[in-house]
Structure 1
């Protein structure tokens, strides 16, 4: 474990989180960041998400960069992405971060009718429903 001095002078501990704790932390949904290669290099975008049966669900614009990458993949193929969620207390120098990696794909209209609803914060059309099933899950927490 690594240590650092926090705002109050006490040593902080960096702890590796197990899979169960990572899933517990991301389970409530909220805002996360999707990392993917948009053809010009790495890109990261924030999205509203929910967890549904162990998978991350989020929506994006039909004409958005991520959806364009998914549409150009071979039919039925998944595109590898990373998904990150964190909560940081800058004043206390504490927080956690969880990263999930796996294949993402667009949901069909039939699938959209049967999964949990994602309510994006921004206005405008977010007609592409994306599902990412994590194959790798890791996380860290820093605390005093």
Structure 2
């Protein structure tokens, strides 16, 4: 028997998911780095139904998401959440789709992404969501 004092879990629609992540901030990119699944935190900005993020040209994320095919994309996922452990509430949003490195022209037109870490972050990527899902846990 489930207690009415338990938090309620609800599935979020695409519009609500995109609204929750719209302010940008910090999220996690999930990808295959050649040795298996990897997850890396990044600063991001939202542009429509895509997220943009920057990384180091010499970094593992850049090397893993590069493709030799012009206009090609690499399958990846992007996750953002907000959790309040005191109230046992929060939400989580997952975008899955294709990521590609932005050309200089695309980068010049892109929304601004300000990475927190120092150093060069000259590899800009766009992950375009083909699938968006999310859940919210609300206090009773």
Do the two structures share a fold, i.e. TM-score over 0.5? Answer: yes
Smaller-chain TM-score bracket: over 0.9
Q: Which runs of 5+ in 2 are unaligned?
A: none
In 1, the alpha carbon distance for the partners of 2:14 and 2:67 equals: 32
How far did residue 70 of structure 1 move?
A: 2.5
1:135 aligns with 2:94: no
In 2, the alpha carbon distance for the partners of 1:121 and 1:111 equals: 22
Closer, same or farther: CA 57–51 of 1 in aligned 2, 3 Å: same
Closer, same or farther: CA 4–102 of 1 in aligned 2, 3 Å: farther
Superposition TM-score, scaled by structure 1 size:
0.91
Runs of 4+ more than 4 Å apart: none
**Residue equivalent to 2:76:** 81
Aligned length: 138
Superposition TM-score, scaled by structure 2 size:
0.94
How far did residue 4 of structure 1 move?
A: 7.0
Write the deviation string for residues 120-144 of structure 1: whole angstroms up to 9, x where unpaired: 0010110100001000000000012
The CA RMSD over aligned residues, in Å, is 1.4
Q: Which runs of 5+ in 1 are unaligned?
A: none
